[in-house]
Every structure is written in C-alpha cells, then in structure tokens.
Chains A and B, each alone.
Chain A
C-alpha cells in the first residue's frame, strides 16, 4: 500500500492547481443548463482547451496531455477544489469518447475527438425515449436503409436529453433491423442536430432550467461513411450495424463508474459542508448536526478511497465490470446526503434560491439518471453477489 503521490504526480498537481487558480472564473458562472449560462460555459471550455486542460487523460494528438488515470483523478480533485464550473461537455468527453476510442475507426477518431476536446462539437446523449427508460432495450427510434441515396434515414423520438437544446450532435441507439427485438438489431449512431429532419424542443427540469430536451427525427439522412470530413460532419455509425447494444454498454459502464463522477467533486462538496457547519460552531450547532456532518464527510472519504482501490486495480489491468454499479449507487446517494445535511444546517433559509437548494435538486436526479439505483441494485445483486436473475 502506498497512499502517497509521486514527485511527477505532485508536479502535475501543482501545475493544474496554479492554472486553475488563475483561470477559473469568479464569481462562479450561472447554471450551464440555460441558453445564456451555456454560452458562458462554452467560453470556459474553450479556455480549458486552449491550454490543453479539457481532456487531460487523452492522447496529446487529440487535445489531451497523455495523463495517467491517477493524474486525471488529481486534476479532478483540483478542479472541484477551486470550484471549477460544471462541465457542459461531459457527455461527449466522458461518455461518447471512451466509445470512440474503443470502436471508432482511425478516421473517426481523428475527426471527432479533437473537435470534441476543443468544444467545437457539443454532444448530448440520446438513449431514453418516452417508452424506453430503464428498459433501454425497448428503443423504438429507427434508422431505415436508403440504398439509393447511400445512407440511413432516422425517425423517432428521444427524450430527457440533457442540454439537447444547446448541443449540435447527439449519440444514441436506433433500431436498424425492423424485424429485431430487444437488444438485437440496434445500431449506435452519431447524429447532427441541425438541418432537415430534426427538431429539438428544450424544456424545464425540476429547478426550472431548460436542461432537458426532446428530440424528434423525421427522415433525417445520415450518409454512409466515406472517410471524408464532410461526410463525418453529417453523422455516422460507431461499431457495426445491428451491434449497437454492445457498443452502447461500453459507454454506460463509464457513466456509472468513475469517469463521470470522480471523488474530487464530492470531497469538494463535503469540504463546503464542513465550512458551513463551522460557521455555526458556538452559534447553535447541535451535536446531532455535527454528527450528521461527520457522517457525510466519512462517506465522501469512503468514496474517495473506494475509487483509489478501484483505480489501483484498473491500472493493473483488472476490469471493474459490474462493480461500477457500487460506485453509481454510492456517489449518487452520497450527493443527496451531503445536500440534505447542508439544508438542515440552513434551517428556514434552506428554501431560498441558493447553491445548496440548487445543488440538492440536481443531486436528487443522481439516483435516476445513468441507470436508476433500483436497476443498479439489481445488477450488484445478480452480477456481483451472484443472486439468481429469475
């Protein structure tokens, strides 16, 4: 066991910290889930990219720094410690990119990845449909082959698409084999959200921000890949036709696992919670509340250590597999607890529009998105503990 960072990791931390400290915008940006806020976040993403901080763990050729998984964790820790803005690019860089790295052709990687890391292309995630939520295999949106035109025609509806109204691309599953059922016969498409055949309607989330969208496809044409940039700009397919389910699963496990929610984020929230409680020390902080703060803090520590142990395995070649469902349940419920304790500390002023109430409302979605926690519990029970499926 070695819980210390190497000299070069410490140097990486220092460099990241000093860049972040002098660049992170103050005061904090407004929510990136509104049109105006999104534009400000985009400026921030461009600044990150200009100095190669947007995707530290990617190869340099695609805009990264070739940073190790450890360094990525360090970066995230520093990012959230200084209160860095939410990453409006996250669905591309954390969820789509790993899939492109795994399934994309070299030409696709060269085309899409640099545009993603520099926030030229903004990606949203199109899994859910009105009748396909937890049961993702019920996807009905379809892509019909048009041999004459040499491509696919997409139709159907996606929904709950985070920041769909502000992004210019979507990735998602479409049924390409009309005879198919369930997990078979779907294809993983990358789709432009501009032009004929696509309509996007943004709508309010729980906190009123226009963070959701529904996306309607009506014969949107995606040309066959001929390896040119002009064609790829009009969308494409990742992996093989009709093999979309397997391709998509690679992405969902990154979402559940560590890439979407690094411990730094919750440690930063836990630190802010402790600061909030400290203001009340000697001024009405009850032992009961002090205990609740300590308990939430311990859970943030536990999440961080659990991640260090997972990453130790991953760097030695062990797959996380279904264990990533433990992460997902834990971080999402931890986030809720941290905010609940903060709101309890705030007492009557908890109801006022402020960062804790805003954060609480967002935290409450954690147990729903990225596969609900009920589904994750089933996964742990069946694939980790070994309980029977049926």
Chain B
C-alpha cells in the first residue's frame, strides 16, 4: 500500500508546473480568447490555444505519455498523466491535452489491431504533431458534443452509439457557440448522419467498450483540471486576503473569510484523492474504474464550484471584473464542472451501482 505519487511523478509534475507558469500565464490565456473585450484585455483574435505551452508540452513528451513505445510514446499510464492534468488545470491551459494525450490515445490504442491508421495517429501524437478533440454524440455515456478550439485541431473523434469515427474538423458541420469561458473557443457538433465508412475507426462491441473507457478518461481529465483550477483560485485568494486591508487589518484575519476559504479547501483536499484513485483504477483496468471516475468527477466538480464561489466572495468587487485574472479560472471551472457528465450524472452512476436500481 502506498497512496502517493512516486518521486518521478512528483518531479515530472513540478517540471510541468514550472513550464506552464512560464508559458501559460494570464496574458497568454487572454490571448487565447477570440474577443479581447470579454477577456478583459489581450490582443483578441485567439483561437482557444496557447501555442507556446502546447509546443513545450509536446516537446517534453507529455502528449505521448500514454502512447505505446512501439508507436514512439512513453508507455506510461493514467497515473502519470492525471497529475499533469491537475497542473494543466492550475494554469487553465485551454489546449486539448486531456483530449489528445488521454481520450484519443485511449480510443486509438484499442484500434491498433484492426486499423493501421490508429498506429499512425498514435505516432503522430507521440511526435507532438497531432492534436485531437473528442465528442460523445450518442450512446450510454453523457452526451458531450462541445469541442473546444475545434477548428484548430487536426482530428476529431466522434463516439456515436456503436461506432467511433475519426474525422478532420473541415469535413464536419461545426457550429460556433459562445462558452462562458472564451478561451475555450467552443464549437458544437450535432449528431452527424452523413458519416461514412471511410472514417470508421471502431465498430460494435469494440467501439462501445472503447467509448466507455474514453469517456471515463474524459471525465477524469476534467476532474483533474478542476482540482488544479480550484487550487489556483484558492492560492490567488489567500494571497489577496493577505494583501487587501479593510478596517485597518488584512481581510484574511477575519474569521468569516477564513472559514469560507477553509470550506472550499476541504472540498478540494477530499476530492483530489478520489481523482488519483480513479487514475490508478483506470491504469489497472479495475472493474470498478467507471464508478471511481464518477466519484472523482462528481466531487471535483462540486469542489471547483465551491472554490470559485468562495474566491469571488473573498475578492469582493475586484473579482467581479474581467480585468482581474480570477474570472479566467472561475469560468473554466464552471465550464468543466458540466463537461463529460455533471455532478448529477456522475452521482447517479454511483447510486445506480450502489443501489442497483
């Protein structure tokens, strides 16, 4: 028994954090927003990507972390990737790290036997050349048909009932929608009926089971990012509460303020172990993995909402403006809290398992 990251995982995580702190600060984030006014600054015209951070991660091999060695990857596991996604969340990196390194690799790895293309795509991910999006359009998982930064992606994986397709964004009917979080530069893909056989990656049983594990990863990836986002918001807020003075004292010395932040921090501290456990379960193919993912996503979503609410309250009006950085992290939390199954969806998966209704 040892429920802790390894030395190497801790080191990798620290390196990624440092790299993201350098390449994906609030300025770079604002630049990812298409609309400078909504972002509260920046040049405008962004496409939901932070190219400096993405290429640095690609160079470090983060994207190919789960890709088999045979395809040029590091052949590590969900346990290695998930802590890095917490860091991606901490930086609010909008780029599709979870979708590419986690969801797409999960799907593609299950298709390498039947599809030569799958191996090539995996190699492309490992080489840092390909970015992926993923949508779950119909089937037994929660419908998730929003794809951030879709037009910037190389490929989009579509899970539709018992089929998995891989399609370039140009050949898909993408409808641009406005996310509360502009850095997500969001597109909706509605159920596509003109998909043909040329884009099929998996069908039947294989597709259904791959879809389930891909969805599990997608939910877990979002949960991990939510943990990082929560930590970031709380760090910002603790800092602010020690700087801002009212009544002649630091506002952080007021007990009401302390308790708001402690409550949010409690939610985060007790959600993170659920996230790490789910990563372990996915890595080992634990039969309970989906339930573990649901616990993680339900609790991480709730924790992030609590952290956002407490952070805003403690900031007061300064937090209520787009010119201050907090909104960049808060809005991502709101977006991800509902992605790949919201609290209700995942709690229901847990209660179905417990109560077998």
On A, residues with C-beta under 8 Å from B are 1-6, 9, 70, 274, 277-278, 281-282, 285, 287, 290-291, 293-295, 297-299, 301-303, 305-306, 308-309, 311-313, 316, 326, 329-330, 374, 377-378, 380-382, 384-390
Judge whether A329 and B266 touch: CB under 8 Å.
yes
CB contact under 8 A between A294 and B273, given known A3-B1, A387-B257: no
A304 nearest in chain B by CB position: B273
Q: Does any Cβ of A come within 8 Å of B4's Cβ?
A: yes
Contact of A277 among B2, B270, B344, B355 (CB under 8 A): B355
B70 within 8 A of A: no
Is B274's beta carbon under 8 Å from chain A?
yes
The interface residues of chain B lying within 8 Å CB-to-CB of A387 are: 238, 241-242, 252-253, 257-258, 261
Count of B interface residues, CB-CB < 8 Å: 45
**Which residue of B242, B255, B298, B344 is within 8 Å of A378 (Cβ)?**
B255
Known pairs A313-B4, A388-B250 / 9 extra A-B pairs, C-beta < 8 Å: A6-B1, A281-B357, A295-B347, A298-B274, A298-B299, A381-B258, A381-B262, A387-B253, A388-B252
**Residues in A neighbouring B317, C-beta threshold 8 A:** none
Q: B253 — which chain A residues lie within 8 A by C-beta?
A: 387-390
Nearest CB of chain B from residue A6's CB, rounded to whole Å: 7
Interface contact A3-B277, CB-CB below 8 Å: yes
Interface string of B238-261 (1 = CB under 8 A from A): 100110000001101101011101
Least Cβ–Cβ distance between B11 and chain A, in angstroms: 15
8 Å CB contact of B262 from A299, A312, A377, A388: A377
Given known contacts A274-B355, A277-B355, A377-B262, is B2 in contact with A1 (CB within 8 Å)?
Answer: yes
Of the A-B pairs whose beta carbons lie under 8 Å apart in the complex, a sample of 19, sorted by A's number, is: A5-B1, A281-B355, A290-B348, A298-B274, A298-B295, A302-B299, A306-B270, A308-B1, A309-B276, A311-B3, A313-B4, A326-B269, A330-B270, A378-B255, A385-B262, A386-B242, A387-B257, A388-B249, A390-B253
- For B5, list chain A residues within 8 Å (CB): 1
Q: In the complex, which residues of chain B have a beta carbon less than 8 angstroms from the beta carbon of A302?
A: 270-271, 273-274, 295, 299
Enumerate chain B interface residues (CB-CB to A < 8 A): 1-6, 79, 234, 238, 241-242, 249-250, 252-253, 255, 257-259, 261-263, 265-266, 269-271, 273-274, 276-277, 279-280, 295, 298-299, 344, 347-348, 350-351, 354-357
The 3 closest A-B pairs by CB, nearest first: A381-B258, A305-B273, A294-B351
Q: Which residue of B lies closest to A386 (CB)?
A: B238
Contacting A309 at CB < 8 Å: which of B3, B295, B351?
A: B3
Determine the chain A residues whose CB is within 8 A of the CB of B299 once the complex forms: 298, 302
Structural contact, B1 and A305, CB atoms closer than 8 A: no
Chain A residues with CB under 8 A of B1: 2-6, 9, 70, 308, 312
Given A308-B273, A312-B1, the answer on whether A294 and B350 have CB atoms closer than 8 Å is: yes
Contact A308 B3, CB 8 Å, known A293-B354, A390-B253: yes
Chain B positions within 8 Å of A294 at CB level: 347-348, 350-351, 354-355
Please give, as numbers and ranges, the residues of chain B lying within 8 Å of A388 by CB-CB distance.
Answer: 242, 249-250, 252-253
Please indicate the chain B residues that have their CB under 8 angstroms from the CB of A285 in the complex.
355, 357
What is the CA–CA distance of A299 and B6 in the complex, to the nearest angstrom? 25
Docked complex Cα distance between A303 and B277 (Å): 12
- Least distance between A386 CB and chain B CB atoms (Å): 6
Contact of B249 among A3, A281, A378, A390 (CB under 8 A): A390
Smallest Cβ distance from B173 to chain A, in angstroms? 35
